[in-house]
Amino acid sequence: MPINYYIFLSIALFCIGIVGVLTRRNAIIIFMCIELMLNAVNLMFVAFSKMHHLAAGSGASTVGTDGQLFVFFIMVVAAAEVSVGLAIIVMMYRNIHSVDVNFLNRLKH
């Protein structure tokens, strides 16, 4: 399958993520959109990694593997982020009984 499809899919996912972050006010949905963007990037990594691996031929077995390594890192970081982020959202709900980010502008005052 040509690489273009992966790229278009990845861009589409990333843009959905951005638009979601920009337009939604619900913290959980924003959070999900961020995950979406991270996964779009992951998809891109994996696709390019595979492409380079195929292009290098069977002799060079390690070519392109670092892209896949990064994916794992991102997944680990994302998992950590989810745990911290969800904890914050829970605390936020406990304090202001809402997960609307527009209420979170107290630092301004």
SS3 labels along the chain: CCHHHHHHHHHHHHHHHHHHHHHCCEHHHHHHHHHHHHHHHHHHHHHHHHHHHHHHCCCCCCCCHHHHHHHHHHHHHHHHHHHHHHHHHHHHHHHHCCCEHHHCCHHHC
Return the number of the residue (24 or 52) whose C-beta is nearest another protein. 24
Q: From the CB of 53, what's the least distance to another protein, in Å?
A: 27
Return the number of the residue (21 or 63) whose C-beta is nearest another protein. 21
Place of tokens 């779009």: 40
45 close to 67: Cβ distance less than 8 angstroms: yes
Q: From the CB of 107, what's the least distance to another protein, in Å?
A: 6
Summarize as ranges the residues that interact with another protein (CB under 8 A): 18, 21-23, 25, 30, 101-102, 104-109
Q: From the CB of 19, what's the least distance to another protein, in Å?
A: 10
Q: From the CB of 99, what's the least distance to another protein, in Å?
A: 12
